[in-house]
Copies of this chain bind each other. A is one copy, B any other.
Amino acid sequence: MEPSRPLRADAVRNRTKILDAAREQITRLGPDVPMDTIAEAAGVAVGTLYRHFPTKTDLVTAVIGEHSELITQAIEAAAERVAGGADAMSEISALMSHIVEAAASDRAVKAAAQDVGAEFLTPEQESRSRAATTAMIEAAQRDGRLREDVTADDFYLLILTAPTAVEPAVRARWLQLFLAGFTTSRN
């Protein structure tokens, strides 16, 4: 679980700086930012960048990975609150809203992901978030608030297709419509 020896302190610092810069640059300028640009923004030389990420694909994958991890954690947190008694359907709504907003601001990262053919979630994140999502879904179904046939996959679909390049209000409308299709009643 600790594959390579622990990185030296400054190496860690560099890795962080690179990842920060990459996220920012890719988000701002799209998936085609030159590696040199990212390196400069990170305050390191390209060589250093390549030491940490042997390939552009690796770098993009890492950036996406950060994002996915945050999302996975948000899902788990919501599931825990539901387990602790919070209202399932409300948590689901809030969670989706949050995820969709986050995805929007990272639209370029998403584009980069496709460019690069990277998967959005690692297998490990996939199973963690699937478990958490399923738990919430079942709770909401027990509450009679969610259609019986809705599964975790349906929510993935929702996340996957969230519109990115539109106004927040439009995104909200989209989410409202989509979630309406999931729910049992509409009052």
Chain B residues with CB under 8 Å of A170's CB are 153, 157
Looking at A67-75, A90-98, A122-130, A171-179, the stretch in contact with chain B turns out to be: A171-179
Indicate the member of A163, A179, A180 with the most B CB atoms within 10 Å.
Answer: A180
Chain B residues with CB under 8 Å of A166's CB are 157, 160
Q: Would you call A187 an interface residue if the criterion is a C-beta within 8 Å of the partner chain's C-beta atoms?
A: no
A182 to B, closest residue via Cβ: B177
Chain B residues with CB under 8 Å of A165's CB are 114
Chain A 102-131 per-residue mask, 1 if CB under 8 angstroms from chain B, else 0: 000000000100110000000000000000
A114 to B112, CA, bound (A): 12
Q: Would you call A80 an interface residue if the criterion is a C-beta within 8 Å of the partner chain's C-beta atoms?
A: no
Q: Would you call A79 an interface residue if the criterion is a C-beta within 8 Å of the partner chain's C-beta atoms?
A: no
A34 to B122, CA, bound (A): 32
A184 to B, closest residue via Cβ: B186
